[in-house]
Amino acid sequence: MRVIAFASVFALFFSALFTDPKPGWSEDGLFVTLAIVLMAVGLTLSIRRDEWWPGARFTGLCTVGVAVLLFAAFQPDSAGYVGVYFIVVLAGLRLDNQAAALLCLTTVGGLVLIFAFEDEAAGLIIGLLFSLAPWFFIMRLVRRLAATADELHQSRSAHAESAALAERGRVARELHDVLAHSLSALALQLEGARLLAQSKHSDPEVVESLQRAHHLATNGLTEARQAISALRGDDLPAIEDLAATFPGATFTVTGTPTDPSSEAKLALYRTAQEALTNVRRHSTSERVELKLDYAPDGTTLTVSDHGDSAPTMNGSGYGLTGMRERAELLGGRLNAGPTNDGFRVELWLPA
C-alpha cells in the first residue's frame, strides 16, 4: 500500500504540473498553485504513521480535501481530484467513526456539487461514489481487524502473565511447604544436637562443627524465605543492606532509579550476594565496591574487589554460571573476569 500511495502521489503532482491550466500566479493558475501547496502540506501532515501532534492527521486530511476541491474546480482534467482516495483510505484506517464520516462526506459532497455542473454529471457522480465506498468500508474493516488483533495480543499477554503468576505461586508454596520446613526442622535439630553435645562436654570441635552447620542451615532458611518472597512479588532486602554486612564494602548509585520487575530485583540481589560470597570465600580482599547504575536502556550492577586473589568460576552453588544463566533468562548479560588488582562481576539487565 505504501508503494501504491507514493506512486499515486508522484502521478498526482506530475499531472498537476503539466495539465492545463498550469500552475501560475494569475487567474486559474493561481488556484492550481494553491491546490498543489495545500496538497503537499496536507499529505505531509497526514501520511506519517505517528502524528506530528494530536489532531495533525485530521488537519492534514482537511487540507487535502480543500486541495482536491480546488483541483476539481480549476483543473478538472488533471489527476488532482484523485486525492480524495487518500482521504477515504487514511480517514477510514486512522480516524474514529465520527471524524472519518464527517471528513469523507464533506469532501465527496463537495466533489458531487462540482461534478453536477459537468457534462455527463450522473455518470461521473455514480462512478465516484461506487469507487470510493468500497475503499472506505475496507479500511474500516482493516482498522477493526487491527484493533481485534491488539485486543487478542493483550488478552494472550494477560493470560501468559496470569499463568506465570500462578506457576510462581505454586513454586513459592512448594518451597515454603518442603524446603523451608525442612531447613527449619534441620536448624532446630542441629541446635538441639549442639546443646546436647555441649551439655555432655563433647569435643569442642564437634560443638563448633554443629554450630557452623546450624549457622549454614539458618542462612539457607533465610535465603529460601527471600526466594519465596520474590516469587510472591514481595520486596527484597536492599542491596545496600547486603553491602553493609560485608566489612570494607562501599555501595554507590548513579542515574535515575527505576522500579525493576521482581525477577530483575531478584537477579540484581542474587548477583550481588553471590559475588560477595565468592569474595569472602576466595579472595583476600578487604575492599569491595558495589555500583548500581540506572540508564535509559537498562540497569548495570558492578561488584569489584581489590585483592591478591580473585574468585574462581567454580565456586559452590550456582556460582557465576548461575548468575549468567539468570541474566540471560531476563534478556541481559553478565561479564566476569579478573582485573589488575582483583575481580569484577558486571550484570546488565534491559529496562
Terminal-residue alpha carbon distance, the chain:
34
- Among 14-18, 138-142, 203-207, 313-317, the range scoring the smallest mean pLDDT is 313-317
pLDDT band at 315 (very low <50, low <70, confident <90, very high): very low
Considering the chain, what percentage of its residues have pLDDT values greater than 90?
Answer: 19
Q: How far apart are CA 78 and CA 15, in angstroms?
A: 5
Question: Which residues lie below 8 Å from residue 315, measured CB to CB, with a gap of 6+?
Answer: 274, 277, 278, 281, 282
Q: Would you say the pTM of this structure is higher than 0.75?
A: no
Q: How far apart are CA 87 and CA 60, in angstroms?
A: 9
Nearest to 220 by CA among 250, 241, 190: 190
pLDDT at 117 over 70: yes
pLDDT band at 106 (very low <50, low <70, confident <90, very high): very high
Whether the CB-CB separation of 283 and 305 falls below 8 Å is answered with yes
**pLDDT tens digits along 12-29:** 888 888 888 989 898 899
pLDDT, residue 234, reads 63
Helical (H) or strand (E) element with 343: strand 342-350
Structurally, at CATH architecture level, domain 236-351 sits in 2-Layer Sandwich (3.30)
Cis-peptide into 21, omega within 30 deg: yes
pLDDT, residue 311, reads 47
**Range(s) of the chain covered by CATH 3.30.565.10:** 236-351
- Among 1-5, 145-149, 288-292, the range scoring the smallest mean pLDDT is 1-5
Burial of residue 107 (number of CB atoms within 10 Å: 0-12, 13-18, 19+): buried
pLDDT, residue 308, reads 58
